[in-house]
């Protein structure tokens, strides 16, 4: 594990920052928003702008504020009541940020997203254009998941993941995830107070998830989701900083190059925009299992996936939808836009491309997934 600081780390980080602030940092233990805390976060964000950093904010807190405004004793379990609380609380959340930023003459914009907004290619491009336009005009986007309409199938799962996907969307240089922990430790500091803090590591280091105490499955909060978010952000070349929001002036200190928290840096060059979009899809429609030969071809040569290398099909997908490519051990190695629906793909298993017309009754594409629509995932 890398503990020494790189030259780039010491020099500080400029450019475009995506900053995610969690509920624990801006709410009063379930009793609504902590307005003085939000005012201090806004002061730091304005300071970053004066240092030449473009700022995009992902903020939690809508449900907690809604629960307080509606006089609920606790966060409701029923989804429709959670969504109602989010709708009410979002008004207070945005109002509070808008008021705080106006003190400095800075405009804000509310942006609510669901996973479907980023899974649909056209809406993805529209969201990118709108957000890029806001940033170029000097507006601070305040982004949250659209809890009011999101269903289990359309939600991100947590705002760490939302932050990473928006970082990909906008080509952010840095994703900052502020939490109530000092950063990532080599073991759980709640159980081992002497656990060393990891100062810097590679975002795709598979040992990190074990240290985080989770499998990396997306859920609400937790260090494992932050590691997963860092891996996702790394696909577009963004570094991730996980730091304590309890540290005084933490954002300004980070901008000046001070080593606070944990930095997770990308290993490779950014993935091209279209393939980055493919890699970022959390909702895949099906799975193709590949033989060893096909896996080797994809990993080593980056060629298209042919039907002859596919040994099994699962799921119910249509042509043009995102599918996952796994090897015989079940490890995901790639994702792509498939050229055939599930029933057609089933007929083409292990078959050479020259047999496609006789098997399907029409001359389709020779590839199961064309290389331009295929992205190899790092492990």
- Can you say which residues are annotated as belonging to the binding site for ATP? 20, 179-180
Six token digits for residue 279: 């890699």
What does the alpha-carbon distance between residue 1 and residue 3 come to, in Å, rounded to a whole number? 6
Among 280, 257, 241, 265, smallest CA distance to 21 is for: 241
Give CA separation, 96 vs 35, 270, 377, in Å: 7, 36, 40
**102: how many CB neighbours lie within 10 A of its CB?**
12
Show binding-site residues for substrate: 60, 147, 159
What does the alpha-carbon distance between residue 288 and residue 323 come to, in Å, rounded to a whole number? 7
Tell me whether strands 54-59 and 16-21 are parallel, antiparallel or unpaired. Answer: parallel
What does the alpha-carbon distance between residue 128 and residue 172 come to, in Å, rounded to a whole number? 12
Show binding-site residues: 20, 60, 147, 159, 179-180
What does the alpha-carbon distance between residue 341 and residue 357 come to, in Å, rounded to a whole number? 15
Provide the Cα torsion 113, 119, 125, 129; round to 10°.
Answer: 20
């Amino acid at each position: 594990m890398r503990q020494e600081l790189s030259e780039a780390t010491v020099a500080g980080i400029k450019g475009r920052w995506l900053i995610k602030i969690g509920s624990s940092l801006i709410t009063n233990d379930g009793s609504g928003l902590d307005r003085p805390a939000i005012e201090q976060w806004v002061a730091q964000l304005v300071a970053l702008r004066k240092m030449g950093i473009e700022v995009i904010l992902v903020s939690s807190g809508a449900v907690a504020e809604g629960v307080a405004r509606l006089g609920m004793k606790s966060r409701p379990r029923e989804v429709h009541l959670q969504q109602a609380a989010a709708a009410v609380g979002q008004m207070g959340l945005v109002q509070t940020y808008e008021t705080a930023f106006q003190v400095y003459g800075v405009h804000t914009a509310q942006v609510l997203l669901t996973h479907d907004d980023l899974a649909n290619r056209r809406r993805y491009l529209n969201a990118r254009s709108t957000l890029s336009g806001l940033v170029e005009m000097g507006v601070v986007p305040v982004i949250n998941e659209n809890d009011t309409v999101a269903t289990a199938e359309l939600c991100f799962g947590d705002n760490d993941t939302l932050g990473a996907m928006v970082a990909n969307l906008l080509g952010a240089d840095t994703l900052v995830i502020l939490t109530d922990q000092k950063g990532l430790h080599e073991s759980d500091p709640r159980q081992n107070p002497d656990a060393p803090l990891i100062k810097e590591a590679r975002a795709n280091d598979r040992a990190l998830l074990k240290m985080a105490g989770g499998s990396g499955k997306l859920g609400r909060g937790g260090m494992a989701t932050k590691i997963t978010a860092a891996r996702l952000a790394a696909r577009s070349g963004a570094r991730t900083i996980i730091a304590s929001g309890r540290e005084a002036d933490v954002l300004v200190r980070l901008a000046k190059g001070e080593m606070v928290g944990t930095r997770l840096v990308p290993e490779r060059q950014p993935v091209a925009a279209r393939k980055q979009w493919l890699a970022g899809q959390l909702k895949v429609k099906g799975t193709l299992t590949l033989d060893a030969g096909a896996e080797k071809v994809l990993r080593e040569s980056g060629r298209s996936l042919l039907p002859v290398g596919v040994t099994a099909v699962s799921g119910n997908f249509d042509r043009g939808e995102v599918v996952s490519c796994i090897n015989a051990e079940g490890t995901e190695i790639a994702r792509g836009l498939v050229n055939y629906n599930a029933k057609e793909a089933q007929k083409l298993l292990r078959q050479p491309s020259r047999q496609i017309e006789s098997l399907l009754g029409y001359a389709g594409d020779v590839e199961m997934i064309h290389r331009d629509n295929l992205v190899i995932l790092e492990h």
